[in-house]
Amino acid sequence: MKKLVYTSSIGAYSAAEIFEETMGEVGNPMDMYPGWAKRMAELQIRAYAEEYGVEWSVVRPCNVYGPGDNFDPNNAMVIPSLMMRISNGENPLRVWGDGSAVRDFAFSRDVALGTIQALMHGTRGSFINLGSGVGHSIKELVETLNQVVPFKYEFDVTKSGGFPHRVMNIDRAREWVGYEPQTSLLEGLSETWDWFQKNKDEYLLKKNYFKAPGA
pLDDT of residue 163: 85
pLDDT of residue 67: 97
pLDDT of residue 212: 67
Contacts of 30 (CB under 8 A, 6+ apart): 11, 13, 14, 15, 16, 163
pLDDT of residue 205: 84
Which value, to the nearest 10 degrees, does the dihedral of the CA atoms of residues 134, 5, 179, 144 take?
Answer: -30
pLDDT digits (tens, 9 = 90+) for 4-16: 999 999 999 998 8
The number of angstroms, rounded, from the C-alpha of 76 to the middle of its chain's C-alpha atoms is 12
Q: CB–CB of 173/128 below 8 Å?
A: yes
CATH architecture observed for domain 3-205: 3-Layer(aba) Sandwich (3.40)
pLDDT of residue 161: 81
pLDDT digits (tens, 9 = 90+) for 16-34: 899 998 876 668 888 888 8
pTM: 0.90
Which region, left, alpha or beta, applies to residue 180 given φ > 0 means left and ψ of -120 to 50 means alpha? beta
Length of the chain: 215
Domain spans of the chain, in order of start? 3-205
The number of angstroms, rounded, from the C-alpha of 92 to the middle of its chain's C-alpha atoms is 26
- Residues of the chain short of pLDDT 70, as ranges, are 24-26, 208-215
Residue 103: half-sphere exposure toward Cβ, Cα within 13 Å: 23
